[in-house]
Amino acid sequence: MPKVLFVKEPNGSSLSADHFDDATQVVETESTSGAIELLAQQKFDAMVICNTGNSDHSLQHYLHNEAVLDRVPLGVALLDAGHCILKANQRLTGWLKKTNLVSLNFLQSLGEFSVYGQQPNPLKLVLSKRVASQATIQIGDHYFCLYVTPILDPRGNCNQMVATLRDATPEIIQQQKFEALHRAGAELTDLRPEEIYQMGFPERIELLIDNIHHYTKDLLNFDVVEIRVLNGQSLELKPLLSVGMDSGITSRVLYAKTEGNGVTGFVAATGKSYLCEDTTEDDLYLDGLVGAKSALTVPLKYHDEIVGTFNVESPEVNRFSSEDLMFLESFANYIAIALNTLELLNAQRTNATLESVVAIREAVGTPVDEILNHTVHLMESSELLEPEMAQRLEMIAEGARAIKAAICKVGEGMAPADSVPECVQTEVSTSLKNKSVLVIDGDAKVRQSAHKLLERQGCVVETAHTGTEALMMVRAASRKQNYHAIIADIRLPDIKGYDLLVKLKEFYQSPPLVLMTGFGYDPAHTLPKAREAGLRANAILYKPFKIEQVLAILDATVAAP
């Protein structure tokens, strides 16, 4: 919708704003001084003036009145249809460093200038389209917004136009700075596949730190910087980057709390930026830079969640402005995104590692158990076994167990618990850590599941097919250390659960046995007999069972005397 400034001056013609159709937005004024003010504040496609032509209050009169023009906070010029200057105020004359602009071509009077961006020449557009036009131009180190508005007579002819220049240097420089920050932020979050493949998590963090330091110094002109990352569980703010700070202060432990933890703790706890104009008069401020007189701290946020803090300091009082705050908050958003991206990559890496370790355990667990079973069988069945052969079989058994231990140790090193995101961490029973568990079942799937579920809890799992095989494993293990828990099906291929319990009493005063059974399946009345023979209370697992049930029973079993 075109927007027209309608100036109906005293003693003007009978033309009124009602002559325009509904498709035109009309802003009406009866004051020519008001018209000049509106031209400075708003953008119009055209201006229509209704007067007798000889009024001392006409717009042309005001444009020729130096006292009025020189009070306008813009560079103003009245141009004819040939772009020649009919009148110009002192502000425009001063900006263009001329003594007199009258009769000069307006564009030539600007000297060497360039149009900023892809905008057309506004003077040509005004004459051809008879609508207001604008462009941003650069003259030397300064930027100006050039507005050109046609002055139309009642017949719609454009014989004159008003050109205004507004100094836009601060906002253009601010825009350029934002664009530079945007490019810098994009580089912070830009990770190519080859970089992800070639660099580990520590190397990526170091690269991010180097880039943040570079952009903070070169773009924001901040020399003293500290960035801390929030541990969501402990609320501790751990240092990530520190430049220009005292090393002792940097190592100080801070938490996301509103009191006792300085400005950094306050910002992390509230999510609000904090501008400390004079550190000597701010009770919340804790020393960072030796001799610091002002500081600015903003939160690092990702999806409205606080992930850390970004702090800059200066030895000057009132060093930081609201503009610095705006730039720092903008850059902090990119840092938060970059940190989240690295966290996602680390989580993905950890997940892939955990899956790999689990897959290796599943693939290796059962074959290693087979080696143990055969080795123990040879040790048990050979009555006249030579000492050297017996020693070698012992070494084979120890080597088989060492394979499992090595896989677990490597897995913990590649994917430590603190690298797993809090939201997906599973609670691990500390009482089962490194506890040896023997699982006895004729079903290979049950034995495989035992490795998968219990090894995640830190258990050392071994399996056996039959009761006879299990008893040989127990006998061999008792020479060094008995099993902490034994889980067996109540109906093994060669023996019942009750009979297994009785035989285990040869090795345990109170066997740590847990029996597995299906609901209602106990034709031999194994469970009542086992309870009478000393099976501990709650030492029964009903299939299908949940992992929580298994862990609860195992916790009680390994804790029993």
What is the average pLDDT value for the chain, to the nearest integer? 81
Q: Which of 42-51, 232-241, 252-261, 383-392 has the lowest mean pLDDT?
A: 42-51
Nearest alpha carbon to residue 148 among 173, 112, 115, 171? 115
From CA 102, how far away is CA 89, in angstroms rounded?
10
Q: Which of 98-112, 377-391, 482-496 has the lowest mean pLDDT?
A: 377-391
Per-residue pLDDT, 57: 45
* Predicted confidence (pLDDT) at residue 347 exceeds the cutoff of 60: yes
Q: Which of 45-54, 75-84, 181-190, 396-405 has the lowest mean pLDDT?
A: 45-54
More confident residue, 492 or 53: 492
Give residues with Cβ within 8 angstroms of 486, minimum separation 6: 437, 438, 439, 440, 470, 474, 504, 511, 512, 513, 514
Q: pLDDT-derived band of residue 502, with 50, 70 and 90 as boundaries?
A: very high
Per-residue pLDDT, 299: 95
The DSSP call for residue 42 is: S
Strand partners, 236: 255
- In terms of pTM, does the model score above 0.85? no
Per-residue pLDDT, 418: 55
Task: Calculate mean pLDDT across residues 519-543.
Answer: 78
Spacing of C-alpha 400 from chain mean position: 45
Per-residue pLDDT, 538: 83
pLDDT digits (tens, 9 = 90+) for 416-452: 555 555 544 555 566 888 889 999 999 888 888 888 8
Domains and CATH numbers, the chain: 3-167 (3.30.450.20), 174-345 (3.30.450.40), 426-561 (3.40.50.2300)
Judged by phi (left if over 0) then psi (alpha if -120 to 50, else beta), residue 440 lies in beta
Q: Is 250 within 8 Å of 226 (Cβ atoms)?
A: yes
